[in-house]
Amino acid sequence: MIKVGIIGAAGYTAGELIRLLVHHPQAQIVFAQSSSQAGQPVAAVHEGLTGDTDLCFVAEADLEAVDVLFLCAGHGKSSAFWAAHTRPEHLRVIDLAQDYRDEHDGYIYGLPEWQRDRIASATLIANPGCFATAIQLALLPLVASGSLHGEAHVTAITGSTGAGQQPSATTHFSWRNNNLSVYKPFTHQHLLEIQRNLQIPVTFIPIRGDFARGILATAVVEWDGTQEQAEALYKEYYRTAAFTYVSDTAVDMKEVVNTNKCLLHVDVHEGHLLITSVIDNLLKGASGQAVQNMNLMFSLPETTGLQLKASAF
- Catalytic one of 56, 72, 130, 262: 130
- The Cα 39–Cα 117 span in angstroms is 40
**Residue 92 neighbours by CB distance under 10 Å:** 19
Can 56 be counted among the known catalytic residues?
no
Range 162-169, long-range pairs (CB < 8 A, 24+ positions): 162/130, 162/131, 162/215, 162/281, 162/285, 163/208, 164/11, 164/12, 164/74, 165/10, 165/11, 165/12
Listed residue (85, 77, 83) closest to 164, CA to CA? 77
Q: Based on the number of CB atoms within 10 Å of its own CB, is 6 exposed (0-12), middle (13-18) or buried (19 or more)?
A: buried
Listed residue (145, 155, 135, 150) closest to 222, CA to CA? 150
Please state the length of the chain: 313
DSSP string for residues in 64-99: GG-SEEEE-S-TTHHHHHHHH----TT-EEEE-SST
- Catalytic (active-site) positions: 130
